[in-house]
Amino acid sequence: MSFSEFLELPLSEFMAKMQSMPETEPLYKIIQSRVVEISKIKDKEERDRWRELKRANAIPEIYLSLAEIDSEVMGKIINIKELTQ
């Protein structure tokens, strides 16, 4: 299926495809981490695991240029080097 065909899927067909996705698929865990209700998980370790997955798979709210990303990464690398010396 091409990307343009995917974008033209009706919502009902898209939902059917999403619900039939196997749990072993990496995309499944990403989607689950974005929609899981952490407050309903009773086990502390499991809740922490899902909280970390939710943070790692969050959709960024701001978009940076590659130059801005490079600048931030270099700044953090320099800070780490200063702390370890």
Q: What is the pLDDT of residue 46?
A: 92
Question: Where do the structural domains in the chain lie, given as residue ranges?
Answer: 22-84
Helices 26-35 and 44-56 meet at what angle, rounded to 10?
100
Task: Give the whole-angstrom CA distance, residue 52 versus residue 58.
Answer: 10
Q: What is the pLDDT of residue 26?
A: 84
pTM over 0.85: no
pLDDT tens digits, residue range 43-74?
999 999 999 989 888 887 788 888 988 998 99
The answer to whether 54 and 33 have CB atoms below 8 angstroms apart is yes
